[in-house]
Amino acid sequence: MALKLTLDLDGVSHEVEVETSSGGNRIRLGDRWYSVELEATGRPNLYSLLVDGRSYEVYAEGRPGGWDVLIGVDVFSVDTGRSRGARERNGGIAPPTGVWLLRSPLAGIVSDVRVQPGDAVGQGQVLLVVESMKMNNELSAARAGRVAAVHVGAGDRVERGAALIQVE
């Protein structure tokens, strides 16, 4: 039997079906079925995801009403629909709640921190830059808020998944 869900991925609604059987797990997104396996790695919030034979490292952090998910260098905001009341009262947009923590999508050296605790930030605003393999990677806010903490400084070496900036 399949479990049917509606997920909002970066503000776009998707109908998803999940099937679990002795032969494995499948997920339908749109008109296509994918074979999937998800395993915890033993490190907090870090998973190994296998989709149709392709392997991905996934970092997922829960938040009220959904998840912030990092796959490679791509960050996705997934709304599970558990806070639909707030969403409907605000014209389809759920207000951000709780704390959002920016984690490093890659290992590298922090070359520039553009905010400090107390700063107001807007969604999409560049918060800091991480240099990796001679490329500067600008990391932006997933939502608007106020910077509660900055956990790194210019010149700091960071590993993938390291806490960088906390926004409330």
* Residue-by-residue DSSP string for 27-58: EEETTEEEEEEEEE-SSTTEEEEEETTEEEEE
pLDDT at 93: 40
Burial of 61 (0-12, 13-18, 19+ CB in 10 A): middle
Confidence of residue 12 (pLDDT cuts 50, 70, 90): confident
* Burial label, 139 (beta-carbon count in 10 A; 0-12, 13-18, 19+): buried
pLDDT, greater one: 164 or 90? 164
In this prediction, residue 87 carries a pLDDT of 40
Q: What pLDDT, on the 0 to 100 scale, is given for residue 80?
A: 67
Most confident of 10-19, 47-56, 68-77: 47-56
Calculate the CA 18 to chain-centre distance.
20
**Lowest pLDDT segment from 80-89, 91-100, 119-128:** 80-89
Q: Which of 6-10, 14-18, 36-40 has the lowest mean pLDDT?
A: 6-10
Q: Which domains does the chain have, with CATH numbers?
A: 2-89 (3.30.700.30), 100-167 (2.40.50.100)
Provide CB contacts within 8 A for 29, sequence distance 6+: 14, 16
Q: What are phi and psi of 90, to 5 degrees?
A: -110, 35
pLDDT at 16: 85
Highest-pLDDT range among 31-45, 82-96, 152-166: 152-166
Q: Is 80 exceeded by the pLDDT of residue 132?
A: yes
Q: What are phi and psi of 62, to 5 degrees?
A: -70, 150
